[in-house]
Structure 1
């Protein structure tokens, strides 16, 4: 598969969870991997820092050491707040996933995963900005990338360089300049979320539950609109908690028309609805409130074509139900590597293309139905009157809370399990997967 003058079997652009997972699995399969990252580690990423059992299961598969003495913190489940009440819900007891979640700051998580990929055999180049794709003029196939080395301040530092490989993976985040540069634009019929967060010192930094506050008001509680989203407090075990909120709309246009000032909304939320016992005062903040977009429901594609695979946020692999993207990025890296490794051993171009195309098929088969349900869910809850009814009449019921937990965490048995698992799994199979 690797041609005589290629620099690697596969080039992976972006060393977030999706990119590092891809690099790890490809290197573990014996492929020559080049992992390119624009920043230097450690580097920050706007995120809630929570890892659901689904994400933890991918870390376990990768062989990542998650010893609590190294800064990892386990959690039992979600503490959900709404309508003046709270429920402590343990993560589901499933055969497919572990019975615990974790939390880890992205400042250290991403570095850990990139180093893990290095230890597996991938070559990591940091301070390397990918400026575009190299395309074969005759076939239209992507055969590599052009790069610009950067100095410590992110400025150009030296001549551009080109790297070549038979397969390129774009895992370069929500904007994905690599994908957009070759015409793979964001879909306008997919949900788009926005999240903001800051870190706060708190005496409850080792709390065994992550908290979700499902009543997110646009202003003073009871005197404003309920927004389609939630606030969170995710303890990190290091003296701090990640505190933030996120809201979602069914299309980028609706999100734009909403005109929400999310940083001000965070201040309003903490002023009027501060989670009790955490002591989250402005003085407890360790830094500024920062925000990021959340691309959802496969909002960019195709996931594979012409030598380029999309993974993680670059492909819009964030769940419309909960804004979670780490688990799906890790999964995408594993599935992408299996397709790339299979293609390497094919003897014809057609057979190699067929093997690479299985990546998109498998990701749609596993996540497409779940994302479709999520899109429908968003269309409902973005109407304030529907959101009010759901919170007032739905959440107080135990069976609804059980559904909420499994949908929010995407932790249900894909086959078997209890009747809730079977219901969710059945629904994902009968709805469209694209």
Structure 2
């Protein structure tokens, strides 16, 4: 049996950020992931300057051999009507490919790594957690996404009672002919809201790569909405007429409507495993990174790993992201007043699409960077 102080399950942005933030603390840390890296991870994939700041990333270093698409405009509309384009006059975000971004973050980690290894068993032994009958630690951190095996230890775990947003997307490198046929521009991601406001689709060109997807709270109609959106975008020339491969699916929880506990005795959840995706946009990278940094601060200072000691992490999450909504709140991210008959007109407004949709919901310009760096 190999003994560690902390075992992190999941080597995505949340897990790798936590592992790196614990360096120098004296904590012996193991990070596990079922996949080898670089891994195939389809994601719209944009990160704001706040994320770059929190991670201490040198943009020139990152851009060397990797995709880094500056973004300064957004094109926003409701399906079936014309879109509104807003120029922010400066770079407000960066497009990245998750296969590159996640690998870059993990390569910076010096802790022990065990990749291409699935978690087959988790059990308690003398107050410690034993994973796969091979690794033992008093603290287990779930960072493995929506279906993280550590999340299953808390409450009811991932299950049918959760209000889950389901998404399908594809990302591919365009051929010269496809690039010429694609009207979407790299510096201008496109967001298209469904008419019933239960989800939205996106077109995001990152250098020579194109990402197209759609997410909804109504999983049963996801395929129909995606097919209709793709066909409309093809007809309008926004995307190439020939899309390779199939769309891949994934799921996540919106913060205000997730019910998963964040801590228990010897257990913490961070990132998507905790259901921290922003309620208005579904973005999970910034919450993943910030939750990992907040968790690291608590782990460094905790006298023990009891639930009462770790509760400081839950309190820090509430201060940073607000309190979760009650059961009476609607499941999807948009406020009730936006769902009203005003929605169509609002989505034609430059002020609303810029100040509310883009700057507030998607860029979180009103939320300052976390006042700590890895």
* CA shift in 2, pair 1:110/1:209, >3 Å: same
2-structure distance, mates of 1:404, 1:30: 43
- Tell me, yes or no, if the aligned pair for 1:335 and 1:359 is still in contact at 8 Å: yes
The whole-number CA distance in structure 2 between the counterparts of 1:403 and 1:377 is 19
Q: Secondary structure at the match of 1:164?
A: strand
| 1:260-409 equivalences in 2 (<5 Å) | 260=221, 262-274=222-234, 276-281=236-241, 283=242, 285-297=243-255, 299-343=258-302, 346=303, 349=304, 354-369=308-323, 372=325, 376=329, 378=331, 387=339, 389-401=341-353, 402-409=355-362
**Superposed displacement of residue 407, structure 1:** 2.9
Separation in structure 2 between the aligned mates of residue 231 and residue 29 of structure 1, nearest angstrom: 42
Alpha-carbon RMSD:
3.3
Distance 1:286 1:89, change over 3 A: same
1:72 equivalenced with 2:64 (yes/no): no
Distance in 1 between residues matched to 2:131 and 2:63, nearest whole Å = 38
**Offset at residue 410 of structure 1 (A):** 4.8
Whole-angstrom distance in 2 between the partners of 1:409 and 1:376: 21
Question: Who is 2:372 aligned against?
Answer: none
- 1:185 matched to which residue of 2? 157
For the structure 1 residues 271 and 408, does the alpha-carbon distance in structure 2 shift closer, same or farther, using more than 3 Å as the test?
Answer: same
Instruction: Give how far 1:296 is off.
Output: 1.7
Matches within 5 A, 1:161-240: 161-181=133-153, 183-186=155-158, 191-200=163-172, 201=174, 202-203=178-179, 207-214=186-193, 216-217=194-195, 226-237=196-207, 239-240=208-209
Q: Which residue of 1 aligns with 2:20?
A: 24
Normalising by structure 1, we get a TM-score of 0.72
Q: Distance in 2 between matches of 1:12 and 1:229?
A: 32
Residue 146 of structure 1 and its aligned partner are, at CA, apart by: 1.9
SS at 2:22 equivalent:
helix
Q: Is the 8 A contact 1:79 1:89 kept in 2?
A: no
Deviation at 1:393, TM superposition (A): 2.6
1:49 alignment counterpart: 45
What is the rounded CA distance, in whole Å, between the counterparts of 1:377 and 1:300 in structure 2? 14
Whole-Å separation in 2 of the counterparts to 1:341 and 1:406: 34
1:164 Cα deviation after fit? 1.3
Contact 1:300 1:314 in 2 (8 A): no
Match of 2:371 in 1: none
Mapped partners of 2:276, 2:228: distance in 1: 30
Q: Deviations over 1:198-230 (max 9, x none)?
A: 12525267621211112x25xxxxxxxx34111
Residues 374-432 of structure 1: per-residue CA shift (max 9 Å, x gap): x956558599x9646243232333442212223322513348xxxxxxxxxxxxxxxxx
Does residue 244 of structure 1 match 2:204?
no
**CA distance, structure 2, for counterparts of residue 102 and residue 377 of structure 1:** 31
Equivalent residue, structure 2, for 1:12: 8
Q: Which residue of structure 1 aligns with residue 117 of structure 2?
A: 128
Instruction: Show structure 1 runs of 5+ residues with no match.
Output: 94-98, 148-160, 218-225, 249-254, 416-434
Q: Return 5+ residue gaps in structure 2 as ranges.
A: 369-374
User: 2:216 and 2:16 mapped to 1: Cα distance?
Assistant: 28
Equivalent pairs, count: 357
The answer (yes or no) to whether the contact 1:270–1:280 under 8 Å persists in 2 is no
- 3-state DSSP of counterpart to 1:177: coil
Higher helix share: 1
| 8 A Cα contact 1:56 1:102, kept in partner | no
- How has the CA–CA distance of structure 1 residues 295 and 10 changed in structure 2, closer, same or farther, with 3 Å as cutoff? same
Tell me the distance in 2 between the aligned counterparts of 1:62 and 1:22. Answer: 19
Please tell me whether the aligned partners of residues 270 and 288 of structure 2 are also in contact (alpha carbons under 8 angstroms).
yes
